[in-house]
Chains A and B, each alone.
Chain A
Amino acid sequence: MPLVGSILTALGFAADSIAIAQAVRAHVGPQEDLFSTCFRLAVHRHRTHLLRLSDATNVDDIRVDEQALERVLSEFASHSDFCDAVTSSSARRDLAKHFRLAVIIPGHSLTDRQLDDEISRIVISAFEDFITRLPVEVSSTFHARDRDNAIIAGQLSDIRSQLLDIAKVVSSRSQYLDGTQIQNESFQEHFHNPFRIVKAEELDRDSDLLARLFDEPALYRQVQGPSNLVLEGGRGCGKSTILRSLSVRAAVQLASLRGTRKLTFRETGLQYFGVYVKLPRGLFNEWSPDVKLTLDAARTLFQHSFNMMLLKFFIKELVHARDTDLITLTSQAESVASGEVAGLISPEDKAASLSELSKLIAREERSVRNYIGSLRLGDGKQRAYEGEFTSVHDFLDQAMDAFRNAVEDLRGKRVFFLLDEYENLADFQQTVVNTIAKLRPHSLSLKIAARPMGIKSRTDLNGEEIQQPRDYEVLPLDYDVNDRHYRELLLSIARKRLRTGGFGSTHLDALLAEAPPFHTATREAVDDALAAMFGDVTDERHHQFDETLIFRLATSPRRPRTYAGFHDFVALSSGIISTFLELCRVTFYLAEGEGVDVRNGSRIPWPVQNEAAYRVSKAAIDYVHRIENDGPRLTRLVRDLADIFRARLLHHSSAPEAARVTIADPEKLDDEESEVLQSLIEEGVRWTVLHSPGPVGSYLPKHLTDVRSSEFYLNRIFAPALRISHKPRWRTTFTTHQLRALVADDTRKSTLSRLVRKHRSTDEDEGDDEGGKLF
């Protein structure tokens, strides 16, 4: 039985296997090369695990024996009953026996049975991957060779749709094919992937690496200034990395890299001493009011705890700077400052060192915690808090002043508290922080990273409004994919990573091979369609409609458009640096798995990049589903909007690429009955599921005078998985009523089908471009 038949049988599709296998072999050709690719990739992805079972020290020692694999594949061709359905572990082991020699695991001590268990995982993974890639091969052949032969074309078309159904079943049950899984695998350290680090968290504490990989954005000077500042941007836009770069250890390292030797804090001439504080999700609800803790008490206790927390982080950074010789901290200065700050906590308290001061801080934290715990567990009987208490109005300013006066290196410098993930604070907690900003103390500044709409409070504890830019400057960090500076920034980031990783070529745009133009359609097909519609084929017509025509003329319904090359990746990134890096990370991972020698300058073939784009896209949608509280509803909204956009893309005659949502009556979003929709849109913007072309701001609009955005488009990274164009060229207009009905459980289905019908037939031009007419 041919290879395809054996694999279909093994995966449980015996009934279809013979007809499909014979047709594929006859018209598409033997698929040994495709299988070898899948097998190599499967071994690559299992290497981490296999390394532990061997005595090899280098993951590269786990590899495919190409000759043995070739032999196995020739056995497939000569045996008619090579495979049975591998529904049991013993059947899987039987299959694995044939592949034992195709995988080199140096020095392993596995029994045959154990080895076969390991190999069977690889083989099944390769089978699953193979079957999901096969429809593309059939589609390509169908269009490239056989479209003039009606009988063969019909046969291939049937087989393609059967294979698509099978691929769908296999994809849904296979963890190996899961986008998130491959994304996570590609993070493994030993793969030496230059794009391994995507998020600031992944830098661990390596300030040296951060300094080497960091690219200053255009607004960096402003960030380093003395003002309180909100860095506002979606997930992955680089906020955390910028904040981390300001921490004293990274800032000194950055300055040292510009010169030839390691500098001290004083030698850098930095005017600030940065203290990075991540505000983790979930932790701060400990201070939130509930049935036992009143808002007033929560506010008071949080102030004290927040003071203690920031002081603690400052001390830690100071000690680290001293221990690494970045600053000079004499014992006398330490004693003076510690004593003074202890007195600020309580006049009776004394501390002669930072260590004693830290103990006082721990005592205060314990005191608050015990009090709240007692209240909640019902054994405190609602007594008042009897511990010490500090206020945000003056404590931190005075404490920082004490250190600035005592420590020579800090004299005249500001302490920057770099508060990351600010959206994790509740509104009353942000009010506490606003109070510090409002006072604009001369000893310290707040540099805050927040997601769009992540700032929930716009007043201080006295109820006074926060003013911009007096109290906070707000710097938006989201990039426009069409901005030349964004592309240059990405290339520069990539260059540093490739250089640091020891790659021969550091030009990412050269390493990412482009796909054939208009793939999966062809230039001829697009030109023919344009000529049929307009009588001529001009650049303008191409510019206007070629993307649409790719989808309408696509040869692969599952993956209608091919994404490859630097410019496609920039477009899919949606202006989010981490998405771009994620695309690169998975691409490099898959390329290595397929044996592409990128390190020595080989270009990464477009199918590899396309595979990465679809996997990352699918993972991005899965991510949305896991967003707290609103994830499932947001996912439904995204999919429903995509259905509407796809209907326009495939059928609308003048404005097909319409992935831009325009709300005709945005003022109605403030109506009571729009509450669910409004909160969903806000959540979508906060998590960068939706973008707004105009300024959104970190602040939740709460005033009638606030301008509410009336336009949104989907994050472009969803486009491949949703099979829509990533270009939001034209508008799709909805009323608030329609969107409300779309997000309501009971009206969703009927509204969706009505909207799909409406938008596939509406013949109105709602875009910025001059419209033509399509078929």
Chain B
Amino acid sequence: MSDSPMEFGSVTDVLPDICDHTLVLCASPEERCLGVVDSLGGARPRRTVLLEIVDEPNSARVQNIERIVTNCGGVRQVERVRIQHKDPVFGIDALSDALEGEGGVIACDISTFPRNTLLLSLRATQRAAPDAKVTILYSEPSTYSSPTSGPLGMRGVAAVPSFAAPYQARDDLVLIVFLGYEGERALGLWQAIEPNRTIAVAPRPAYRDEMAGEAERKNSALLAALAEDDLFVVDARNPVSTYRLLKSLWTDDALARDANVFIAPLGTKPEVVGMYSFCRDHEDAATIVYAGVIDHDQTYLSRGVGRKWLLPFPERSDCG
């Protein structure tokens, strides 16, 4: 498989046998949770497993679920898995049960998964269905709208369950922050963790030209504390780019020898896929920490559906 994202208009352009595949996706109030299901062009996946957040009711999400069920429901009903924003472990066993022993292709539309849920879901999927080939689909947002009420509050910082590396007897704690648009959240994580060293990763190229440099601008207060050499860039939509960066930091930068490494996924979903793959292949390398926002209605919600991609799902052998 190519190690570059492939753009598509219709899902069948990149997954011609989608009718034989299992589709896993997460319902959201964001319109782009429909990006893939609206591009099925009449085809229906063999099975559809829909993750549904139940602890934060939202009418837009309900409407989107109805459309997903209409587009994907065929002879077999869409299988719905109840998950929670507050407790990312909740419902993961049901996802495992749903996918256990699944062979063939599992197409995962990652567009609107909460980041911690995405990490757990990918791990559960690969453990429950080790013989399946997992492919990643992604819809970019058309645009973002800023919250109206100023900076967002942050929930408690916590290691994503099952993504905590052993705490090594090392002197330094290094935080690798993948930057997004919520500069306050990145600062909040940073001030809570109080690392000895911080490495920031900016999306470059960004999704669109007009977004270039926006993540750095939104995070300028955090970046001011960093040595210039500690700002790295990755291709925002290519998980392989993230995987390679983490691997190079791990091997070249002596992090493995001298530090406990925490990774904060505040950037794009494709970056989260890259860090998942890296942590899957390097179990002791890093702990992924996350802090959700207090009020999801006030977060940076995307608007519309932008370009759609089949993303490379990094394997150790592809990212040497």
Residues on A close to B: CB < 8 A? 48-49, 52, 175, 178, 180-182, 184-185, 187-189, 199, 201-202, 204-205, 278, 280-283, 285-286, 290-292, 309, 312-313, 315-317, 362, 365-366, 369, 372-373, 376-379, 623, 625-629, 631-633
Instruction: Say whether B154 contacts A175, CB under 8 Å.
Output: no
B171: Cβ under 8 A from any A Cβ: yes
On chain B, the residues within 8 Å of A281 by CB distance are 157, 192-194
Instruction: Say whether B169 contacts A290, CB under 8 Å.
Output: no
A304 vs B188: C-alpha distance when bound (angstroms): 32
A283 vs B156: C-alpha distance when bound (angstroms): 11
On chain B, the residues within 8 Å of A379 by CB distance are 96, 100, 124, 127-128
A523 to chain B, nearest CB (A): 39
Q: How many residues of B contact A (CB 8 A)?
A: 58
Other A-B contacts than A201-B196, A633-B153, 13 sampled, CB-CB below 8 A, are A48-B228, A181-B220, A181-B221, A280-B173, A280-B260, A281-B157, A285-B159, A291-B89, A376-B93, A377-B93, A378-B128, A379-B124, A626-B192
On chain A, the residues within 8 Å of B168 by CB distance are 312
Which of B30-38, B50-58, B265-273, B286-294 lies at the interface with chain A? Answer: B286-294
Instruction: Say whether B188 contacts A282, CB under 8 Å.
Output: no
Of residues 94 through 128 on chain B, the ones whose CB sits less than 8 Å from some CB of chain A are 94-97, 100, 120, 123-124, 127-128
A624 to chain B, nearest CB (A): 10
Query: Can you list 18 A-B pairs with a CB-CB distance of less than 8 A?
Result: A180-B221, A202-B196, A205-B172, A282-B192, A283-B167, A292-B93, A315-B169, A317-B169, A365-B166, A372-B162, A377-B93, A378-B93, A378-B95, A379-B100, A379-B124, A625-B153, A626-B151, A628-B188
Instruction: Say whether B154 contacts A626, CB under 8 Å.
Output: yes
B177 to chain A, nearest CB (A): 13
Instruction: Say whether B123 contacts A628, CB under 8 Å.
Output: no
B148: Cβ under 8 A from any A Cβ: no
For A376, give its contact among B92, B192, B227 (CB under 8 Å).
B92
**By DSSP majority rule, is chain A's interface helix, strand, loop, or mixed?**
helix
Instruction: Say whether A626 contacts B191, CB under 8 Å.
Output: yes
B187: Cβ under 8 A from any A Cβ: yes
On chain B, the residues within 8 Å of A290 by CB distance are 87, 89-90, 161
On chain B, the residues within 8 Å of A283 by CB distance are 159, 164, 167, 287, 289
Instruction: Say whether B164 contacts A369, CB under 8 Å.
Output: yes
B257: Cβ under 8 A from any A Cβ: no
Closest B residue, CB atoms, query A316? B169
Closest A residue, CB atoms, query B126? A377
A204 vs B198: C-alpha distance when bound (angstroms): 12
On chain B, the residues within 8 Å of A632 by CB distance are 153, 294
Instruction: Say whether B96 contacts A185, CB under 8 Å.
Output: no
A319 to chain B, nearest CB (A): 9
B139 to chain A, nearest CB (A): 27
Instruction: Say whether B188 contacts A626, CB under 8 Å.
Output: yes
A631 to chain B, nearest CB (A): 5
B129 to chain A, nearest CB (A): 11
A369 vs B220: C-alpha distance when bound (angstroms): 37
Q: Assuming A204-B171, A291-B90, A628-B155, is B262 touching A280 (CB within 8 A)?
A: yes
On chain A, the residues within 8 Å of B173 by CB distance are 201, 278, 280
Instruction: Say whether B153 contacts A631, CB under 8 Å.
Output: yes
Closest B residue, CB atoms, query A362? B166
Per-position contact with A for B181-219: 1 when CB-CB < 8 Å, else 0? 000100110011111110000000000000000000100
Instruction: Say whether B221 contacts A184, CB under 8 Å.
Output: yes
Instruction: Say whether B162 contacts A282, CB under 8 Å.
Output: no
On chain A, the residues within 8 Å of B222 by CB distance are 184
A49 vs B224: C-alpha distance when bound (angstroms): 10
A373 vs B124: C-alpha distance when bound (angstroms): 10
Instruction: Say whether B171 contacts A189, CB under 8 Å.
Output: no
On chain A, the residues within 8 Å of B227 by CB distance are 188-189
B263 to chain A, nearest CB (A): 11
For B96, give its contact among A48, A204, A378 (CB under 8 Å).
A378
Task: Tell which of B87, B95, B158, B173 has the most Cβ of chain A within 10 Å.
Answer: B158
Instruction: Say whether B169 contacts A312, CB under 8 Å.
Output: yes
For B225, give its contact among A185, A313, A369, A629 (CB under 8 Å).
A185
B82 to chain A, nearest CB (A): 12
Closest B residue, CB atoms, query A619? B221
A202 vs B228: C-alpha distance when bound (angstroms): 17
Instruction: Say whether B161 contacts A376, CB under 8 Å.
Output: yes
